[in-house]
Chain A
Amino acid sequence: MTNAGPHIVIVGAGQAGLQAAEALRSSSFDGQITLVGNEPHAPYHRPPLSKAWLTGELDAGQLTIRDTSVLVRKKIDFHPAVSVSAIDVDARTVLLGDGNRLNYTGLVLATGASPRPLPLSEGVGDAVRMLRSREDADQIAQGLKDCIQRGLPLVVIGGGFIGLEITASARKLGVPVTILEAAPRLLERALTCDMSRWYADLHSSRGAELIFDARIIKIAPSADGITEIHLNDGRSLQAGLVVAGIGVRPNDALARAAGIACDNGIVVDECGRTSNPDVVAAGDCTVRRLSDGTMLRLESVQNAVEQGRSAALALLGIEQPFLGTPWFWSDQYDKKLQIAGLSRGADAQAIRGDMAGNSFSVFHFRADRLIAVDSINAAKDHMVARQLIAGQISPTVEQVRDSSFNLATLRARPN
């Protein structure tokens, strides 16, 4: 597969890889584009895998981001179900799992992330499931069906977003759920104590059982499909299905082996450039070095989309840094969480609306400056927050608390 002209190879056909490919086509690039994905599907939306896909409310067409025919039309040479075994940055070649070699003039790494394996799950085979791919989700969906049929519960290990979304889906289907969380509260890394309590109340009210400070000492699968989980306090739980969601690890092994700088992710700048001038990276596999030297890892669709584009354009010498306000969402039951900004380092909070009601937002400040807003069923607050944070405009605590005050009046007029 040698070609004399410009050839950009994209490794990873998720959201970031797809966006990179399309950004190249939408810009001036008319060379060859090869998109290599290790999954057997055309690029698809991952967020629904823990939600509507599990509950059967979505069909395959709705899960797909782009039909293969669209990729053909855009002259994106798409290779599904092909792994990449090595990159040679000196020879500028990518070695594929099927033995083929691709020469590139530019390379985009969009290899994603993988669920962190549960330490005690070694040797238990499929008894502990994790969720990343469509196949994972299909197996979990089947496991939930079996739970319903046999009247067995689901045990979720890890009270993070994935675990809680799966819990909500399972409860919707009527499956009993117990969540085991090692920390004293849910979503510890993402949310404040108040919000953690709010989520705990939400899941309890929908019938999920929560066990905090859980220490698992043994996971024992049995031939009849029931898995027993033993805790250090003497309790043991029986499960028809066990799903662990305890975080992800960026897939940076290929890059590291190729000598590209990695630090818990492929290190990139705000344009997705790596330590190698011919290689850019985007999405969950990356870690961004900020101007103050700190490292930032974002795992979100927005990051995949925006960084995918920035990275592709950077290969063409076009600077279009991704500097937008990070945002993220999580749907659980009928509650929509939207997070704008990054709350780490916050020193004060103010609540808009009523946490006991249906709709509210937590505004986070650092040194009186608004840095992040977590909204529950409050889309308006979220949208204003994104604009305020991007414009570095901070409301006062009083303005936040006064729900009759229109925060939108503070924002700079869009140009």
Chain B
Amino acid sequence: MQAAVANGVDGIVAECGGSCVCATCHVYVEPERFGEVPPATEDELELLDGVKAERRHNSRLSCQIKAAPGLTGITVTIPECQT
């Protein structure tokens, strides 16, 4: 999320600035690499219940995905809407 927001990627709203309270930084993680991303906390799963766009099996809140060397090159897709 930080990377998307700092670089002004349209479609990542992140109203709460990464505090895991707003569900406006929803992304779809590329399915093949979904398992490489550390799992979501219960808080995040509960927020994902309320995302505006369709929730899919590979839905995540990007503020909860920390960039790490192991995730180099991973692709996430931005949903149609956040709010």
> Which of A57-65, A170-178, A220-228, A346-354 touches B?
A57-65
- Contact partner of A338 (CB less than 8 A), chosen from B2, B17, B18, B21, is B21
Chain A residues with CB under 8 A of B52: 414
Chain B residues with CB under 8 A of A3: none
Q: Which residue of B lies closest to A76 (CB)?
A: B8
Chain B residues with CB under 8 A of A377: 43
- Contact partner of A384 (CB less than 8 A), chosen from B16, B21, B50, is B50
Give the interface SS of chain B, mostly helix, strand, loop or mixed: loop
Chain B residues with CB under 8 A of A380: 46-47, 49-50
Q: Are B15 and A22 in contact (CB under 8 A)?
A: no
Give A297 to B10 CA distance when docked, in angstroms: 28
Q: Are B47 and A66 in contact (CB under 8 A)?
A: no
- Contact partner of A64 (CB less than 8 A), chosen from B6, B10, B22, B47, is B6
Chain A residues with CB under 8 A of B16: 47, 301, 329
- Contact partner of B13 (CB less than 8 A), chosen from A67, A305, A384, is A305
Q: Which residue of B lies closest to A46 (CB)?
A: B17
Question: Cβ of B72 < 8 Å from any Cβ of A?
Answer: no
How many positions in chain B have a CB within 8 Å of any CB in the partner chain? 24
Give the interface SS of chain A, mostly helix, strand, loop or mixed: helix
Q: Are A22 and B21 in contact (CB under 8 A)?
A: no
Q: Are A379 and B19 in contact (CB under 8 A)?
A: no
Q: Are A62 and B18 in contact (CB under 8 A)?
A: yes
Question: Cβ of B76 < 8 Å from any Cβ of A?
Answer: no
- Contact partner of A47 (CB less than 8 A), chosen from B6, B19, B20, B54, is B19
Give A74 to B18 CA distance when docked, in angstroms: 23
Give A64 to B6 CA distance when docked, in angstroms: 7
Chain A residues with CB under 8 A of B19: 47, 329, 331, 336
Question: Cβ of A306 < 8 Å from any Cβ of B?
Answer: yes
Question: Cβ of A40 < 8 Å from any Cβ of B?
Answer: no
Give A64 to B20 CA distance when docked, in angstroms: 17
Q: Which residue of A lies closest to B24 (CB)?
A: A305
Chain A residues with CB under 8 A of B58: none
Q: Are A65 and B5 in contact (CB under 8 A)?
A: yes
Give A393 to B46 CA distance when docked, in angstroms: 20
**Contacts A383-B47, A384-B49 hold; do A302 and B15 have CB atoms under 8 A apart?**
yes
Q: Are A301 and B10 in contact (CB under 8 A)?
A: no
Q: Which residue of B lies closest to A386 (CB)?
A: B50
Q: Are A67 and B7 in contact (CB under 8 A)?
A: yes
**Contacts A301-B16, A302-B15 hold; do A383 and B6 have CB atoms under 8 A apart?**
no
Q: Are B15 and A305 in contact (CB under 8 A)?
A: yes
Chain B residues with CB under 8 A of A301: 15-17
Question: Cβ of A150 < 8 Å from any Cβ of B?
Answer: no
Cβ < 8 Å to A, chain B residues 39-83: 43, 46-47, 49-50, 52, 54, 83
Question: Cβ of A321 < 8 Å from any Cβ of B?
Answer: no
Q: Which residue of A lies closest to B6 (CB)?
A: A67
Give A45 to B2 CA distance when docked, in angstroms: 12
Q: Are B49 and A329 in contact (CB under 8 A)?
A: no
Give A408 to B5 CA distance when docked, in angstroms: 30
Residues of chain A at the chain B interface (Cβ within 8 Å):
22, 26, 45, 47-48, 61-62, 64-67, 70-71, 73-74, 301-302, 305-306, 324, 327, 329, 331, 336, 338, 377-380, 382-384, 386-387, 408, 414
Give 4 nearest A-B pairs by CB, closest first: A383-B50, A380-B46, A70-B8, A379-B46
Residues of chain B at the chain A interface (Cβ within 8 Å):
2, 5-8, 10, 13, 15-23, 43, 46-47, 49-50, 52, 54, 83
6 new A-B contacts at CB < 8 Å, known A305-B13, A305-B83, A327-B22:
A65-B17, A73-B8, A329-B19, A378-B46, A379-B43, A382-B21
